[in-house]
Structure 1
Amino acid sequence: MLTISGLVKKYGAGDPVLKNLDLEVEGEQILSVIGSSGAGKSTLLRCINRLVEPTSGTITLNGTDYTRLGKRDLRVARRRIGMVFQSFNLVDRLTVMENIQCGRLGYISTWAALTRRYPKEDIRRAFDLMERVGIAHYADKRADELSGGERQRVGVIRALMQDPEILLADEPTASLDPKTSEQIMMLLRDLASELKLPVIINIHNVNEAKEFSDRIVGMRYGRIIFDDLPTALTEDAMHEIYAGIPLADRQAEGAAA
């Protein structure tokens, strides 16, 4: 279970980006976080694995308070949190297999990583996952030769290679065309079910959030103002989350993100 209590993130002397935020996530659910730009969605995800340092509050994953960990312990603990990025974060000159094995860097020796002598069981696991998402035939292909959807699949597998206890996805479909976006969302949903894995997705596309999520959290100005089933996300709830922004403007904002 992920438990966030009283989370605050403040930059300088301005208003906090996150304001005393509380959230619990458990089970194999897909939780989508929606809200206007600047609502604090990305900051929330990045605080969970401390890519951004919280100002105060606690973030506890299965009994470990990540806000209290020192640098050494944090490096080890981060293996339990997989992260999928909007910009893929692949090393273009490396092959698909080499990029995927980056998910195991927290488990193997520096020498093995530098010489690319990956354990046989890690290679087998990578091939199994690549088969699962239909890209095993790209194992020896450079990352910069792949399409956006293929690159994001590599990013998902790399995160799963960590054997995470939770998966975070920060705008995983924002750089993709509509058809590929749906495929990635469907993949995340299916993997969450198959691996019994909770997944938190920061997403602009509300229709995709409603179609593929088990639960939706709406944020506005650093606070959670909606937390319910997708079927409860009415136009009135949308109006509150997006502060009265017309639907057409919200759709345009999502397309431009």
Structure 2
Amino acid sequence: MLKIADLVKRYGTGEPVLKNLDLTVEGTSIVAVIGSSGAGKSTLLRCINRLVEPTSGSIELNGVELTSLRGKDLRMARRRIGMVFQGFNLVDRLTVMENVQSGRLGYISTWAAITRRYPKDDIARAYELMERVGIAQYANTRADALSGGERQRVGVVRALMQRPEILLADEPTASLDPRTSEAIMGLMRDLAHELDLPIIINIHNVTEAKEYTDRIVGMRYGRIIFDDAPAALDEDAMEAIYAGSPGADRAAGAQAA
């Protein structure tokens, strides 16, 4: 279980980006976080994995308080939190297998990583996951030779190689065409249920959020103002989340598409 309580993130002396935010994610639910640009969606995800330091509040994952961890304890905790990025974050000159194995860097020795002497169990696990997402044939292909959808599949497998207890996805389909975007969302939904893995997805496309997730959290100005099943996201809720914001037209267009 992920339990966030009274979370605040402030940069300098300005208005907080996150304002006393509370959120609980249990089981294998897939949670979409929506809202206009600047609502705090990405900051929320980055506070969870401590890429951004919270100003105050509590973030607890399966009984471990993440905000108090430092050094080795923090590195150990991060192994339990998978992350899928909008920009893929692959090393282009490395092969798919090598990029996938980077998800195990927190588990193997520095020497094994440098010499690429990956444990046999890790190689077997990588092939299993790559086969599942349809990229096993590219195991020895350089990452820069892949399409956007294939690159994002590599990013998903890399995160799953950590054997995470939760998966965070920050705009994982923003750089993809509509058809590929839907394929990635469907894949993540299926993997969540197959692996008993909770997923939090920061996403702009409301139509995809409603179709592929179990729960939608709507943010505005650093606060959660909607938290319910996708079917409950009606016009009034959309108005509350997006009205007058720069992302309003984009979100409305995505919903109508």
Sort the Cα spacing of 1:247 and 1:68 in 2 relative to 1 into closer, same or farther, 3 A.
Answer: closer
Q: CA deviation at 1:72?
A: 1.5
Aligned to 1:51: 51
Q: Secondary structure at the match of 1:5?
A: strand
Identity %: 78
Q: Secondary structure at the match of 2:237?
A: helix
Partners of 1:58 and 1:184 lie apart in 2 by: 31
Q: Which amino acid aligns with 1:21?
A: L
Q: Secondary structure at the match of 2:73?
A: helix
Per-residue displacement from partner, 1:6-29 (whole Å, max 9, x unpaired)?
000000111000000000001111
* Structure 1 contact 239–245 (Cα < 8 Å) conserved: no
Aligned structure 1 segments of 4 or more residues deviating by more than 2 angstroms = 243-248, 250-254
Q: Which amino acid aligns with 1:22?
A: D
Partners of 2:75 and 2:149 lie apart in 1 by: 29
Q: CA deviation at 1:128?
A: 0.3
Q: Secondary structure at the match of 1:67?
A: coil
Matched, 1:94 2:94: yes
Q: CA deviation at 1:129?
A: 0.4
Aligned to 2:169: 169
Per-residue displacement from partner, 1:155-211 (whole Å, max 9, x unpaired)?
000000000000000000000000000000000000000000000000000000000
Partners of 1:23 and 1:231 lie apart in 2 by: 20
Q: CA deviation at 1:247?
A: 8.8
Partners of 2:62 and 2:114 lie apart in 1 by: 32
Q: CA deviation at 1:246?
A: 9.4
Sort the Cα spacing of 1:92 and 1:201 in 2 relative to 1 into closer, same or farther, 3 A.
Answer: same
Q: Which amino acid aligns with 1:37?
A: S
Aligned to 2:213: 213
* Structure 2 contact 173–184 (Cα < 8 Å) conserved: yes
- Residue segments in structure 2 that go unaligned for 5+ positions in a row: none
Partners of 1:124 and 1:79 lie apart in 2 by: 19
Sort the Cα spacing of 1:65 and 1:248 in 2 relative to 1 into closer, same or farther, 3 A.
Answer: closer
- Aligned counterparts, 1:1-257, within 5 A: 1-245=1-245, 249-251=249-251
* Structure 1 contact 104–162 (Cα < 8 Å) conserved: yes
Q: Secondary structure at the match of 2:183?
A: helix
TM-score of the pair, normalised by structure 2: 0.97
Sort the Cα spacing of 1:248 and 1:54 in 2 relative to 1 into closer, same or farther, 3 A.
Answer: closer
Sort the Cα spacing of 1:95 and 1:204 in 2 relative to 1 into closer, same or farther, 3 A.
Answer: same
Q: Which amino acid aligns with 2:88?
A: F
* Structure 2 contact 35–247 (Cα < 8 Å) conserved: no
Higher mean C-alpha deviation, range 244-253 or range 76-85:
244-253
Q: Which amino acid aligns with 1:137?
A: Q
* Structure 2 contact 37–246 (Cα < 8 Å) conserved: no
Q: CA deviation at 1:252?
A: 8.0
Partners of 1:56 and 1:245 lie apart in 2 by: 27
Partners of 2:188 and 2:101 lie apart in 1 by: 20
- Residue segments in structure 1 that go unaligned for 5+ positions in a row: none
Q: Secondary structure at the match of 1:86?
A: coil
Per-residue displacement from partner, 1:119-147 (whole Å, max 9, x unpaired)?
00000000000100111000000000000
Partners of 1:176 and 1:247 lie apart in 2 by: 18
- The total of aligned residue pairs comes to 255
Partners of 2:253 and 2:174 lie apart in 1 by: 11
TM-score of the pair, normalised by structure 1: 0.97
* Structure 1 contact 83–169 (Cα < 8 Å) conserved: yes
